[in-house]
Amino acid sequence: MQIDIESRPSYGMAVVTLTQGQSILAESGSMVAMSDAVTVETRFSGTGSGGFWGWLRAALTSLARMLLAGESMFVNHFTATGDGQQVMLAPEMVGDVEQIPIDKGREITVQSTSFLASGPKVSVAMVWAGLRMILSKEGAFFLRCSGQGPLLINSYGAIEKIEVDGAYIVDTGHLVAFEGDLTWEIEKVGGWKSTLLSGEGLVMRFHGKGTLWLQTRNFQSLISWLTPQLPQ
């Protein structure tokens, strides 16, 4: 599998080239174009083993992903039936796309709206982000990706990569993804006065050593700016 990202950073699009039998799972609605020898199968975004109970579990975890993490209930599985077949994937939002390889011992936690696609051996689970995350309107759950294979994430604005060693603070609306070794807590940016008047709201304090991916724009800020501009 080869992944090239084009039109960066304003309108990033992933061009995934597959050999026969290889597949990629993508967020529903993200396909831009594809070669003819690619089959599509739509499945639940949650996971479950075979049989009725497995199906029920997949359905329920998919529903939870939709309700709690703001993700789609379904993902599309694109599988190549020949060599050199391409699938082009892009998010709805303007901004960049980034590829992060996942391996044993390297888990990546993604802000739920930033998940775009993953390899078939990458498993995705929901993790609780923290009660205060609800207040920041970013969704109370993150998606934790583990296993082996590529992960594609998307951002609003460009993606800034930060190597954290120690402690580091990020605005909740600018978080895209981080490595599993990092722990976090959600806190006020300063005292109550700063929280109310600084315009920064809540922040995430990261601890440990690992990579952090940030986006250079904030979707909720765009909405807050646009709303008063609209005619009554």
Partner 1 sequence: MQIEVQHSPAYAIAIAHLDAGESVIAEGGAMVSKDSHISVTTSAGREGQGALSGLMKGIKRMVAGESFFQNSYVAEGAAGHVTFAPTLQGDVAVHELRQGTMFIQSTSFLCSAPEIEIDAKWGGARSFFGGEGLIMIKASGSGPVAFNSFGGIKEIDVDGSFIVDTGHIVAFEDSLEFKVTSFGRGSRLNFKSLLLGGEGLVCRFEGHGRLWLQTRNTQGFGKLLGRQLPPRES
When asked if residue 169 is in the footprint of partner 1 (CB under 8 A), the reply is: no
Binding residue (CB under 8 A) for partner 1 from 17, 22, 23, 35 = 35
Return d(Cα 9, Cα 133) in angstroms, integer.
Answer: 27
Residues in 59-98 that interact with partner 1 by CB under 8 A: 72-74, 76, 88, 90, 92-94
Contact 151, 97 (CB under 8 A): no
Q: Which C-beta is closer to partner 1: that of 148 or that of 220?
A: 220
Question: CB of 178: closest distance to partner 1 in angstroms?
Answer: 24
DSSP reduced 3-state for 230 = coil
Sign of the four-CA dihedral 127, 129, 131, 136: negative
The C-alpha angle 15, 107, 123, rounded to 5 degrees, equals 65
Binding residue (CB under 8 A) for partner 1 from 41, 83, 103, 185 = 41
Binding residue (CB under 8 A) for partner 1 from 18, 34, 80, 116 = 34
Q: Which C-beta is closer to partner 1: that of 32 or that of 197?
A: 32
Binding residue (CB under 8 A) for partner 1 from 50, 51, 52, 226 = 226
Question: What does the block give as tokens for 209?
Answer: 């050593």
DSSP reduced 3-state for 114 = helix
Return d(Cα 153, Cα 119) in angstroms, integer.
Answer: 12
Residues that bind partner 1 (CB under 8 A): 6-7, 10-13, 15, 27-36, 38-42, 72-74, 76, 88, 90, 92-94, 219, 223, 226-227, 230-232
